[in-house]
Chain A
Amino acid sequence: MSNSCAQRRLVYCYVAVVVLAHWQCPTIAAADHLEQIRQRGELRWGADAEGGAPYVYPDPEHPERLIGFEFELAEALATQLGVRATMVQNQWDQLIPALDRGNFDIILNGLELTAENQQRIAMSRPYYVYAQQIVTRSETTGLSGMTNLDNKVVGVLSGSVAERLLKQTTNVVWKSYPGNVETFADLKNRRLEAVLVDLPIAIHYARPDPMLKLSGAPFAPGYYAIGILRQDQTLLVAINSALERMAGDHSLERIYQKYSLWDERQQALSDYRPEAAPTTKPCITLRERLGYLPLLLKAAVTTAELSVFAMALAVIAGLAIVLLRLYGSGPIQWLAQAYVEVIRGTPLLIQLFLIYYGLPEIGIRLNAFCAAVLGLGLNYAASEAENYRAGIQAIPRGQTEAALALGMTRWQTLRQVVLPQAARVVIPPVTNDFIAMFKDTSIVSVITMVELTKQYGMLAASNSDYIVVGLMTAGIYFGLSYPASLFANWLETRLRYDHC
């Protein structure tokens, strides 16, 4: 008995020591990250395995295991450093902020060696030479170069070099996607005319697909390199020498051959001589920040439009649902209730994916805005139906009886007596939902809508300016929702009938 008590105390002590040790870790890390990696015996590398082929992705035959040329590269690199490699999953366009936060030691995930990235973090010598590739549907002709893309809708990966290239060309309509699978799905769904991606992605996804083709020769070559925190100079040196060794002894070539990614361009890896990279992180001036404002306001208009249309749909559809539920015949009542329960019991995100990417499979192809309005509207309709039900049931039974006693039909009773009174009861909860929807619209960025939160994410990530842009964005949200709240108060007062 006393023995087990002592054991337990020992366990508590151990836990306390471990917790304390971990608390102190970050301060040690700041001094020397390489030393910490060696002590821990683990190189933590950040990457996005969601739709991440051929870089790093779940093995189709053993989905619990990761494969990919970067996965093998990370393993080899860790071996060179004398540790093991652990992948840390992170959304691709937020890798640099996550590195800043210390979620992992390095970024190894198709990060391009650009001046812009080098202003924010340190970057290793390159490990791969990529190029841009246009992908189209197999029957499309004539889109073999950048100049052919004028006035075409082109999909790109959010935060990629391709996105930056298209932003610089004025005549292309580009759409940003969080992952590659979605871009190719939309290309096949004819929402896009072409996709501009890094060559390895095109090779992996588009080449085996009979509906797609690689159109024209690759162009605009560039380097992938490993992202490291600026202060980790010893880690940078260690990684650079490891990469140099792997380029020299053909271990890189062996990995790339395996994934059909080796081409004559890779010769440049062994011959690479670093140029002087900009090392200082520029200050963001007030003027630059004011420059974000038009972009944010434009996105705010999208958010407002989405909310207003989706709420209008929700308010009307919700009414239909509650009427069917309360006054329909047996099976219809059951269906209406089932709708409410299923919609409430499943995530909005999945509903949006089903509408945007699922419906095209059965021939219904909606643009992103319509899909977003439909998804949000049908989702909130369930909630509005419940609000109405509470409102209708709050009207005393005597009201219905008095109307029926006058000879009104059930519909006339509802229309003339119950609903006008219920309207006032439901204004506060419906307003509440409307304001909640303003904020829920941020979720539709997953189906390529650039609304306020998405715009914030893009601006903040590319400028590493989360606080100021965040406050500006929050201010705009508040500026939109507070008037809605005032309007509801006014409406509620106007509909008062107990003037005493």
Chain B
Amino acid sequence: MITVEQLIKSYNSVRVLQGINHTQTRGEAVVLIGPSGCGKSTFLRCLNQLETADSGRITIDGVTIDASRPVRNGQEREQQRQLRLRAGMVFQSFNLFPHLTALQNVTVGPMVVKGRPQPEAEGVARGLLAKVGLEAKAASYPAQLSGGQQQRVAIARALAMQPKVLLLDEPTSALDPELREEVLRVMRQLAEEGMTMIVVTHEMQFARDVADQVVFFEGGRVGESGPPEQIFSNPQHERTREFLRRVVTK
């Protein structure tokens, strides 16, 4: 369902992704961990083309982008958009649209991109807001919501496009500790329902509980990957052990 081959990305002369390979099947929840600046977020942003890689291939649900061919013409741009339609994105800083209500934030995608009629889009949106526990906040503007509530609206917004995979880039890092749990609860529920997900996070408990596969990033490479019990209980690499020691003592 998701295949990434030899993904390479540099900023100026610094290689932040040094040839990443990754495969993931439908319904799998993958958690990316690793020290800051190791390329986790860049990898996620390359997957839905917010960053374009220098070389390598990305395939999501049958749509393939060859990163070594830069996007120039309309056809390539449409291919890029098709990939994005399959990969929903949740940002660390929420990025809700401040001029729209919570409900409008969720309906704007289906209405504008897919041309869904407003009543239908609103019906779906209310269902999704109920799912994240915010049906009462449908008419609120983002500025009237707490961080945790905003992030849950952002998840509903991404789900409204019915993506094949949900990409979550440190979804709880900008939140106060007491607000994180409400977001993590929603994410757990999605994983249980069989949503294909890639989550970049520092929440090790979440990774242990939810992940089917944990990928440890280190210096722009995949240092180690495997099921959570292996990574957390019996890491093979010294780097992984060192990282986990630091995170757990913190």
Chain A positions near chain B (C-beta within 8 angstroms): 396, 398-399, 401-409, 412, 416-417, 420-421, 424, 497-500
Instruction: Say yes or no for B144: interface residue by CB 8 A criterion.
Output: yes
Residues of B within 8 A of A403 (CB): 97
Expressed in whole angstroms, the Cα–Cα distance for A412 and B114 within the complex equals 12
Contact A420 B99 (CB under 8 A): yes
Expressed in whole angstroms, the Cα–Cα distance for A211 and B85 within the complex equals 70
Residues of B within 8 A of A407 (CB): 81, 84-85, 109, 113, 161
Expressed in whole angstroms, the Cα–Cα distance for A13 and B12 within the complex equals 67
Residues of A within 8 A of B98 (CB): 421, 497-498
Interface of A is mostly: helix
Expressed in whole angstroms, the Cα–Cα distance for A401 and B84 within the complex equals 11
The interface bits of chain B over 216-234 (1 if a CB of A lies within 8 angstroms of the residue's CB, else 0) are: 0000000000000000000
Contact A406 B95 (CB under 8 A): no
Expressed in whole angstroms, the Cα–Cα distance for A498 and B97 within the complex equals 11
Expressed in whole angstroms, the Cα–Cα distance for A408 and B158 within the complex equals 12
Instruction: Say yes or no for B16: interface residue by CB 8 A criterion.
Output: no
Once A421-B98, A421-B99, A497-B141 are accepted as A-B contacts, the answer to whether A402 and B89 lie under 8 Å apart by CB is yes
Contact A405 B141 (CB under 8 A): no
Contact B161 A406 (CB under 8 A): yes
Interchain residue pairs with CB less than 8 A apart (28) = A398-B93, A398-B95, A399-B95, A399-B97, A401-B50, A401-B91, A402-B89, A402-B91, A402-B97, A402-B154, A404-B50, A404-B84, A405-B48, A405-B50, A405-B88, A407-B161, A408-B112, A408-B113, A412-B112, A412-B113, A416-B108, A417-B97, A424-B99, A497-B100, A497-B141, A498-B98, A499-B143, A500-B143
B103 → A minimal CB distance (Å):
14
A351 → B minimal CB distance (Å):
36
Contact B113 A406 (CB under 8 A): yes
Expressed in whole angstroms, the Cα–Cα distance for A500 and B161 within the complex equals 29
If A402-B89, A405-B48, A412-B113 are given as contacts, then 5 extra A-B residue pairs at C-beta distance below 8 Å, sorted by A number, are A398-B91, A399-B97, A421-B98, A498-B98, A500-B143
A201 → B minimal CB distance (Å):
62
Contact A499 B141 (CB under 8 A): yes
Instruction: Say yes or no for B152: interface residue by CB 8 A criterion.
Output: no
Instruction: Say yes or no for B157: interface residue by CB 8 A criterion.
Output: yes
Rank and list the top 8 A-B pairs by shortest CB-CB distance, nearest first.
Answer: A405-B89, A402-B95, A398-B95, A406-B109, A498-B143, A407-B85, A497-B99, A407-B113
A329 → B minimal CB distance (Å):
10
Residues of A within 8 A of B113 (CB): 406-408, 412
Expressed in whole angstroms, the Cα–Cα distance for A439 and B151 within the complex equals 49
Contact A409 B81 (CB under 8 A): yes
User: How many chain-B residues does the 8 Å CB contact rule pick out?
Assistant: 29
Residue of chain B at shortest CB distance from A420: B99
Expressed in whole angstroms, the Cα–Cα distance for A403 and B113 within the complex equals 10
Expressed in whole angstroms, the Cα–Cα distance for A409 and B49 within the complex equals 13
Expressed in whole angstroms, the Cα–Cα distance for A409 and B109 within the complex equals 11
A10 → B minimal CB distance (Å):
66
Residues of B within 8 A of A424 (CB): 99
B76 → A minimal CB distance (Å):
13
Residues of B within 8 A of A420 (CB): 99
B203-221 interface (Cβ within 8 A of A): none
B29-70 interface (Cβ within 8 A of A): 48-50
A395 → B minimal CB distance (Å):
10
Contact B112 A416 (CB under 8 A): yes
B52 → A minimal CB distance (Å):
12
Most chain B C-beta atoms within 10 Å of own C-beta, residue among A402, A407, A412, A416? A407
Residues of A within 8 A of B141 (CB): 497-499
Contact A401 B95 (CB under 8 A): yes
Residue of chain B at shortest CB distance from A395: B98
The interface bits of chain B over 135-147 (1 if a CB of A lies within 8 angstroms of the residue's CB, else 0) are: 0000001011000
Most chain B C-beta atoms within 10 Å of own C-beta, residue among A402, A416, A420? A402
Residue of chain B at shortest CB distance from A415: B112
Expressed in whole angstroms, the Cα–Cα distance for A499 and B142 within the complex equals 9
Expressed in whole angstroms, the Cα–Cα distance for A417 and B143 within the complex equals 16
Residues of A within 8 A of B157 (CB): 406
Q: Which of B77, B100, B108, B144 contacts A406 (CB 8 A)?
A: B108
Residues of B within 8 A of A406 (CB): 84, 108-109, 113, 157-158, 161
A402 → B minimal CB distance (Å):
4
A426 → B minimal CB distance (Å):
14
A240 → B minimal CB distance (Å):
77
Residues of B within 8 A of A408 (CB): 109, 112-113
Expressed in whole angstroms, the Cα–Cα distance for A283 and B169 within the complex equals 81
Expressed in whole angstroms, the Cα–Cα distance for A500 and B48 within the complex equals 34
Contact B93 A500 (CB under 8 A): no
Expressed in whole angstroms, the Cα–Cα distance for A181 and B50 within the complex equals 62
Residue of chain A at shortest CB distance from B48: A405
Residues of B within 8 A of A498 (CB): 98, 141, 143
Contact B109 A499 (CB under 8 A): no
Expressed in whole angstroms, the Cα–Cα distance for A409 and B71 within the complex equals 14
